[in-house]
Amino acid sequence: MQLTDSVKTVKGVGDKSLSLLEKLNIHTVRDLLRHYPVDYDNFQMPVQINTASEGQTVTVEGAVSRVTTRPTARKKVITCYVSDPSGALKLIWFNQQYLIKILKPGFRFLFRGTVKRDNAEYAILQPKMYQRQEYAKLLGSLQPKYGLTKGITSAFISKAVKQAFSEIKIEDQLPASFRKENNLMKLSDAVKTIHFPKNMDEALEARKRLVFDEFLDFILALRALKTKKEEAVNNFVITDYSACEKLIGGLPFKLTNAQQKTFNDIKKDMSSVRLMSRMVEGDVGSGKTVIAMLAVLSVVQAGYQAAVMVPTEVLAKQHFYDFEEKLGKYGVRTILLVGSMTAAQKRKAYEKVEAHEADVVIGTHALIQEGLQFDNLALAVIDEQHRFGVNQRKALKEKGLHPHVLSMSATPIPRSLSLILYGDMDLSVINEMPAERKPIKNAVVDTGYRPTALNFIRKEVLSGHQAYIICPLVEESEDSDGENVIDYTDNVRDFFASAALKNGDGKLIKTEYLHGRMKPSEKNEIMERFAAGETDVLISTTVIEVGVNVKNATVMMIENSERFGLAQLHQLRGRVGRGTYQSYCIFMKGSEGKDIDDRLNILKNNNDGFKVAEEDLRLRGPGDLFGVRQSGELSWKLADIYADAPLLSLASEYAERIAAES
Ligand code: ADP
Ligand code: MG
C-alpha cells in the first residue's frame, strides 16, 4: 500500500464510506493518516453522580428511571434519569428513538458525556452508553476523537487508521542523527502515536515531530518557488503613475499614511531593475484592496495585463464589482473567471484575456487552469495569500514571463517569523486603520443574553443596518450540541416574527442562511443579496470569513465562540466596522469556564490583530496539543505559527543545512 493510493484500498472502506470520507477531504491513504484527532477521549473511572460538575466530561454508572419521550416540531427528545447512591442526573437524547427499547427502568449502564446546565438541573446531552464489560476494556485509555461528518464515527476512522498502519511503510526524511540531536520521533512512530498515544506526553512528542515536518515541507516548497536571481530581472518597468494619482485624488477617502507608504514601496519596486516580490500585511479592514487596485492600474496604464487571485467566489465577485466601479473610468477592462461559470463562459473569458480585450482578470483557482493565457501579464496579485498553497501561487506566476508579484495577507505574524515564512519577499505592513473608523464595541455573553442580543440586532436592522450571526455547524449533529445554521435560522425567524407582533410594528426582518455545503452559485447569490441590502440578517457558518466587505453591516454575533480560534474570531469580527457606523461584536458562549472567559476577553479588550495574536500566545503558552484550531491559517494541520515558532526556526535551519549540502 502506498500513501498516494485511494483510501478505498484500506480494508473496511467501501463505496458508501468513501463518499463520506471524501466529504472530510480524505481521498488518499495519506489524507486518512493525516486526519489527526481533534482531541482524545480519556476513559477514567466512573464518578459519583453528586461530584459531577458543569463543563466536566464524566462517566457515571447507575440505574435508569423516569424514561420519557417527547416529540417536538424538529426533534424527538428522550429524557431519563440515572441514579447511583449519591444522586441522580438527567440524560437527554435527540432523535434516537431506538433507545426507548434499551432504556428499561431499573437497567444499569454507564453513561458518558459533558455535564451541562439544563434549566435548574444538571444534564448530559447525547450521552454515550456502555455496558460494564465494554467500558472495562476502554478504561485508562486515550481514544482518538476525529472531525466527523454525518454517518461516520470516530470508531470507524480509528479502525481504518489501524488497518492502514498494518499495511504501510512510512519513509522518514530526517536522518537519525538529526532526530536524536533534536529529540524528534521517527516519523512513522509520530503518525501512529498522534492517533493512539498512551498518554498526553507521548501525544505532545508526536505532535512536535509532525509540526516540524509541516514547517519543513512548507519551507522546502517555498524554496522551490523562489525566483532565481538571474531571472529576477524586471521585464515590466513601470514609471508612469499619473493614472494612479488621479485615482487617489478621486477616492471618497484619503489614503492612510501606511497605505501611502505601501504604495510608495510598490512604485519603487516596479520602477526598479529588479522584479517586485512584495507581501502586504495588514489587519482586516486596513484597506489592502485599494493598494492592489493602484498596482493593477499602473501596469494597465503601461499597456500590460494583471491577474488578481482570491480564495473564494464571493470575494472574487466583490472585487470584480469594486474594480469595475473604480477603475472602469480609467479605461481598465476587468473580467471575472470563477469555477461556477459554464464552459462556454470560461472559453469566452480565455479568448478575451488572450486577445488582450481584457486588462485585468479577477478570479479564484480557476485562474491557474490550463486554458487561461495572457497576452502580457505583468502583475500577479494574490489576495489572502495564506489561503493558497505554494504550488498555486507558483502556477499563477507562471502564467506570465516573470511578472511582478504582490501578495496580501491579514494574518498578523511577527516580523521575525515573516522573514522565515515569506523568504525572499519584501514586506510592507499596513499598521494603521482609516481615521474615520470607530473601534468595534465588543461583548462576551452567555446564552441567557440571546434574546437581548437578538432584540439589539432587531433594533439595528430597524435603523437601517444589517447583521451577521455565525454558528459552528451546518445542521444538527449527533456528536455536537453546537448551534447549527439551519435550526438557528428557524428560531431567529420565529423570534423576529413574535417581536414584531409584540411591538406592533409589523416590520418583517429578512433573514437568510449560508453554509459551505451550498453550491458556489447559490452562495454567491445569497452574498449578493446581503451586499445589496435585500437581506437584513445573514446566518452563516464561517464561510463568510474571508474578505467580505459590507459596510452597512454593524453587528456580528458569534454563537459557540468558545469553539473557534482567536485568530478566526478576529477575522470574523473584521466583517463589521468597515464603514463609518458604530459596530458591535457579540461573542456568545455556549459553555462556561474560566479559560473560555480568559480567551474571549482577549478579543473583548483588543481590536488589533497583532495584539490578539500576542495575548493568545501568552495565554496558551507553547506546546498546547491541539488548542482551538487556528483555522484557515497557512493550511497547516497541527502547526501553530505563534506557539511553535521555535520549531519553525529549527526547520528553517535544517532547510539551510540541506541546501548547503546539496
Ligand atoms: P482589507 O484590508 O480587509 O482587504 P478592504 O480593502 O476591503 O480591507 O477595505 C475595507 C473598507 O475600507 C473598504 O470599504 C474600503 O473602501 C475602505 N477604505 C480603504 N482605505 C480607506 C481609507 N484610507 N479611509 C477610509 N476607508 C478606506
Ligand atoms: Mg481584503
Highest mean predicted confidence (pLDDT) among 220-229, 241-250, 476-485, 502-511: 241-250
What distance in angstroms lies between residue 343's CA and the mean position of ligand 2's atoms?
28
Q: What is the model's pLDDT at position 415?
A: 72
Cα–Cα distance list, 137 to 46, 117, 133, 143, 650 (Å): 13, 30, 7, 12, 41
CA distance 371 to 526: 29
Q: What is the model's pLDDT at position 634?
A: 56
In contact, 442 and 603? CB cutoff 8 Å: yes
pLDDT tens-digit map of 1-45? 899 999 999 999 999 999 999 988 899 999 999 999 988 888 899
Helix (H/G/I), strand (E/B), else coil: 270 = helix
In this structure, which ligand is nearest to the CA of 315?
2
Q: Is the CB of 286 under 6 A from ligand 1?
A: yes
* Per-residue pLDDT at 438 exceeds 60: yes
What distance in angstroms lies between residue 558's CA and the mean position of ligand 1's atoms?
23
CA-wise closest residue to 187 among 159, 217, 158, 157 = 217
pLDDT tens-digit map of 443-494? 999 999 999 999 999 999 999 999 999 999 998 776 677 899 999 999 999 9
CA angle, residues 638, 639, 645, in degrees to nearest 5: 160
Cα–Cα distance list, 209 to 55, 180, 588, 644, 651 (Å): 32, 12, 36, 11, 11
Strands (E), 119-203: 121-125, 128-130, 142-145
Q: Is the CB of 458 under 6 A from ligand 1?
A: no
Helix (H/G/I), strand (E/B), else coil: 525 = helix
Instruction: Report the mean per-residue pLDDT for the chain.
Output: 90
In contact, 164 and 10? CB cutoff 8 Å: yes
Question: Measuring from atom 12 of ligand 1, which residue has the nearest CA?
Answer: 287
What distance in angstroms lies between residue 429's CA and the mean position of ligand 2's atoms?
14
Please compute the mean of the pLDDT values over residues 366-383 and round it to a whole number: 95
What is the model's pTM? Answer: 0.73
What distance in angstroms lies between residue 591's CA and the mean position of ligand 2's atoms?
32
* Per-residue pLDDT at 627 exceeds 70: no
Q: How distant is the alpha carbon of residue 396 from its chain centre?
A: 23
CA distance 388 to 366: 13
Q: What is the model's pLDDT at position 624?
A: 53
* Stated length of the chain: 662
Confidence of residue 633 (pLDDT cuts 50, 70, 90): very low
Q: Is the CB of 37 under 6 A from ligand 1?
A: no
Neighbour-count burial of 137, counting CB atoms closer than 10 A to its CB (0-12 exposed, 13-18 middle, 19+ buried): exposed
CA distance 578 to 489: 25
For residue 214, the surrounding DSSP H or E stretch is helix 200-225
Q: Is the CB of 551 under 6 A from ligand 1?
A: yes
CA distance 603 to 649: 28
Helix (H/G/I), strand (E/B), else coil: 544 = helix
* Per-residue pLDDT at 632 exceeds 50: no
- How, if at all, do strands 334-337 and 277-282 pair? unpaired
Confidence of residue 91 (pLDDT cuts 50, 70, 90): very high
CA distance 567 to 573: 10
Q: What is the model's pLDDT at position 659?
A: 83
CA-wise closest residue to 190 among 637, 498, 635, 645 = 637
CA-wise closest residue to 585 among 505, 498, 469 = 469
What distance in angstroms lies between residue 549's CA and the mean position of ligand 1's atoms?
9
* Per-residue pLDDT at 374 exceeds 60: yes
Q: Is the CB of 549 under 6 A from ligand 1?
A: yes
Is the Cα dihedral 367, 368, 373, 379 positive or negative?
A: positive
**What percent of the chain is predicted at pLDDT more than 90?**
63
CA distance 478 to 591: 18
CA distance 57 to 100: 24
* Per-residue pLDDT at 390 exceeds 90: no
Q: Is the CB of 287 under 6 A from ligand 1?
A: yes
Q: Which atom of ligand 1 is nearest to the CA of 436?
A: 25
